[in-house]
Copies of this chain bind each other. A is one copy, B any other.
Amino acid sequence: MSARDVKLDFERHDRLGFDEAILCAGKSPEQLATILDQAAEKGAPLLLTRLDGAQLKALAAGHTDRIDYEPLSRTGFFGAVAEPKSAPTVAVVTAGTSDVPVGREATRTLAYYGVASLAINDVGVAGLWRLMERIDEIGALPVAIVAAGLDAALPSVVGGLSPGAVIALPTSTGYGVARGGETALNAALVSCAPGVVVVNIDNGYGAACAALRILRASSRAAPL
């Protein structure tokens, strides 16, 4: 693996407002090092996702020193990130404890871009009262990311109660027919609530990018 095998999209920021983000899963230490070097040389920040502890340890100190790492979400910020804004604009809602790491990936991606979020955990519909206690907070924000596995009933219920943008984030929680998140994904796609949109299984990063696109849309749209 040499430098000519890597060509990062540093123009992405100007084009889309997103920096390059590196999916670290499956990449060797050499590949990661090549990528970090190329970014460092350009002075470009990077968002690292699915970077597990073992991969982090295998990097040279010169690299790890510059990474702000959060283990639950396995995300790292390489280089300078945006100044955080104080008021949350995105609700990140999870159905159960097992969905928290995926939700955290979304929260961290938003934080990388300076967007504060409101985390509301463990409000799955099996105990509906927990959601009802918090639904007004969710509905008051422009965007909600709703992470749920199993039957993913939560995005439908939120979508039926909250008028904002609702991004369903299916997770791989569960066993058997949960099929690694496929059932949650499919249930979200055929949600009985109108206008719920969906991203790939366990893709907290993608859900956050979608929220960012939506928030940006507001600067160009006249209010409805």
CA distance A163 to B153 in the complex (A): 19
User: Interface centre among A16, A18, A182, A221, by most B CB within 10 Å?
Assistant: A221
Distance (Å) between the CB of A201 and the closest chain B CB?
3
Q: How far is A115 from B223 in the complex, measured between Cα atoms in Å?
A: 11
Given the known interface contacts A115-B224, A160-B127, the answer about A190 and B217 at a Cβ–Cβ threshold of 8 Å is: no
Which B residues touch A183, using CB under 8 A? Answer: 183, 186-187, 189-190
Those 5 A-B pairs whose CB atoms lie nearest each other, nearest first:
A195-B209, A218-B218, A176-B201, A9-B127, A142-B217
A148 to chain B, nearest CB (A): 8
The answer to whether B128 touches A161, judged by C-beta atoms less than 8 angstroms apart, is yes
* Contacting residues, chain B, for A196 (C-beta < 8 A): 206, 210
Question: Cα distance A182–B179 when bound, in Å?
Answer: 10
A154-168 interface (Cβ within 8 A of B):
156-157, 159-167
Complex contact A221–B222 (CB within 8 A): no
Closest chain B residue to A8, Cβ basis: B122
Q: For window 136-150 of chain A, which residues contact chain B by CB distance below 8 Å?
A: 140-143, 150
A174 within 8 A of B: yes
**Interface residue count on the A side (C-beta < 8 Å):** 109
A5 and B121 contact, CB distance less than 8 A? yes
In the complex, which residue of chain B has the Cβ closest to the Cβ of A113?
Answer: B224
Ordered by A's residue number, 18 sampled pairs between the chains whose C-beta atoms are within 8 Å are: A1-B72, A5-B121, A11-B127, A16-B161, A16-B194, A25-B175, A27-B98, A89-B221, A96-B192, A151-B156, A151-B187, A153-B191, A165-B216, A177-B186, A179-B186, A197-B197, A198-B198, A217-B217
* A97 CB-CB contact with B under 8 Å: yes
Query: In the assembled complex, which residues on chain B have CB atoms less than 8 Å from the CB atom of A115?
Result: 224
Shortest A105–chain B CB gap in Å is 12
Check if A195 sits within 8 Å of B185, measured CB to CB.
no
Which residues in B have their C-beta under 8 angstroms from that of A126?
A: 9, 12, 156, 159-160, 192-194
Bound together, the chains give a CA A25 to CA B155 distance in angstroms of: 24
Q: Please determine whether B192 and A129 come into contact, CB atoms closer than 8 angstroms.
A: no
Query: Which residues of chain B come closer than 8 Å to A157, judged between CB atoms?
Result: 125, 128, 153, 157
